[in-house]
């Protein structure tokens, strides 16, 4: 399982990007491991630790709600109708520990309703604006299968083997949390089809354990040791392909590097395309940033500038020209190109909002 995940293309991609999905993958891994231990041994201490991990995961990224669903389903399947009171008691105690852990790492989540506001806004942009559904699920997974087939060869083989020999897994309840989370995640991708590879890094945490379980099952059979070897070969091909891609990518200039370099020693305010926000938070912690999306109207951009006060507006050249023509007179005090040999060129407009 460790080799499967460590050499997985999605995991490698996520590990080289600054995103909140990285800490979520770690907390998801711990949550699922302790849920599996609880399902195997029925010791409540594992459930309580898992609930605390779930609370920390909740503070990282919105997709953590799928992890919570997998945890609840695990308890319900374990105890069934005959022991529903026990299941309900465990769930309620788990919610209390979950809330405490979430509040410790993210006080605004529950104390000031930050989580409720966040999830309501998430539902709004997912349902009303279709922000997370730019393409269909068939197009999403079809693209992945065609472009990175080696990433799914071992996954498909392992899942087929696990389905065929699941009854032979000695402690199969320990696998349930990983299986439930993987299923929930796949269902979620029928709606959330944003094609960002790092979004799926936690899914491959669960798939890695399922693949490891399959390898353990088949290794007991004659010539069964060939499966782990085949998995390692498939994963090795992924890792080498990813390495080759990164070597080639480093030879081409990208706007991200120039934007980060420009703001390295800045301590003011900036309105930037949303995908630059994590990078600037990391490399320029003194810089106050607000991210904007490509579909923002000029009025909405103007409101954000008014909120920030004197600030730098980062935009592609064509978009900057549109802002220059549409923002109120006198707001733009200067401009500067910040990228070299990159298309589209990125510019900075120095803005000073007025009340006129």
| 10-residue averages of pLDDT along the chain (356 residues) | 79 78 89 95 95 92 89 92 87 93 81 65 65 76 80 78 77 90 90 78 88 78 69 80 80 81 88 88 89 85 88 90 88 89 85 78
Cα 33 off chain centre by = 19
pTM confidence score: 0.73
Round to whole Å and give the CA distance between 292 and 275.
9
The upper half-sphere exposure of residue 233, i.e. CA atoms within 13 Å in the direction of its Cβ, equals 7
CA-nearest of 256, 309, 305 to 283 is: 256
Strands 332-337 and 311-316: unpaired
Residues 330 and 336 sit within 8 Å (Cβ to Cβ): no
Return the pLDDT at 77: 92
Residues 259 and 346 sit within 8 Å (Cβ to Cβ): yes
**Phi, psi (degrees; rounded to nearest 5) at 226:** -70, -30
Total Cβ atoms within 10 A of residue 216: 15
DSSP per-residue codes, 57-123: HHTT-TTHHHHHHHHHHHHHHHHTTTTHHHHHHHHHHHHHHHHHHHHHH-GGGTTS-HHHHHHHHHH
Exposure b/e, 295-320, CB count within 10 A at least 16 = b: ebeeeebbebbeebeebbbbbbeebb
Return the pLDDT at 349: 93
Residues 202 and 22 sit within 8 Å (Cβ to Cβ): no
- Residues paired with 252 in a beta bridge: none
Range 118-123, long-range pairs (CB < 8 A, 24+ positions): 118/62, 119/62, 119/65, 122/62
Return the pLDDT at 168: 75
């Amino acid at each position: 399982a460790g080799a499967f995940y460590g050499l997985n293309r999605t995991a490698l991609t996520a590990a080289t990007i600054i995103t909140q999905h990285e800490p979520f993958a770690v907390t998801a891994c711990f949550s699922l491991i302790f849920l599996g231990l609880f399902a195997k041994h029925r010791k409540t201490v594992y459930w309580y630790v898992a609930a605390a991990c779930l609370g920390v995961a909740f503070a990282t990224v919105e997709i953590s709600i799928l992890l919570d669903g997998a945890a609840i389903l695990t308890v319900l399947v374990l105890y069934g109708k005959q022991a529903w009171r026990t299941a309900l008691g465990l769930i309620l105690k788990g919610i209390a520990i979950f809330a405490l852990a979430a509040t410790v790492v993210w006080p605004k989540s529950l104390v000031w309703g930050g989580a409720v506001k966040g999830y309501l806004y998430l539902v709004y942009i997912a349902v009303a604006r279709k922000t997370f559904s730019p393409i269909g699920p068939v197009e999403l997974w079809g693209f992945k299968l065609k472009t990175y087939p080696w990433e799914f060869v071992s996954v498909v083989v392992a899942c087929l083997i696990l389905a065929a020999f699941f009854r032979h897994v000695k402690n199969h309840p320990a696998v349930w949390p990983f299986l439930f989370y993987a299923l929930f995640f796949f269902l979620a991708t029928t709606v959330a089809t944003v094609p960002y590879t790092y979004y799926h890094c936690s899914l491959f945490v669960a798939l890695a354990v399922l693949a490891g379980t399959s390898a353990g099952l088949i290794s007991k059979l004659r010539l069964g040791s060939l499966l782990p070897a085949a998995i390692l070969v498939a994963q090795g091909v992924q890792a080498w392909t990813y390495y080759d891609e990164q070597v080639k990518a480093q030879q081409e200039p990208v706007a991200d590097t120039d934007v980060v370099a420009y703001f390295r020693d800045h301590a003011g305010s900036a309105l930037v395309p949303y995908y630059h926000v994590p990078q600037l938070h990391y490399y320029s912690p003194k810089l106050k940033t607000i991210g904007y999306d490509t579909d923002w109207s000029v009025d909405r951009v103007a409101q954000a500038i008014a909120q920030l006060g004197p600030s730098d507006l980062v935009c592609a050249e064509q978009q900057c020209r549109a802002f220059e023509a549409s923002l109120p007179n006198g707001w733009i005090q200067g401009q500067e190109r910040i990228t070299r040999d990159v298309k589209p060129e990125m510019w900075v407009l120095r803005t000073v909002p007025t009340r006129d």
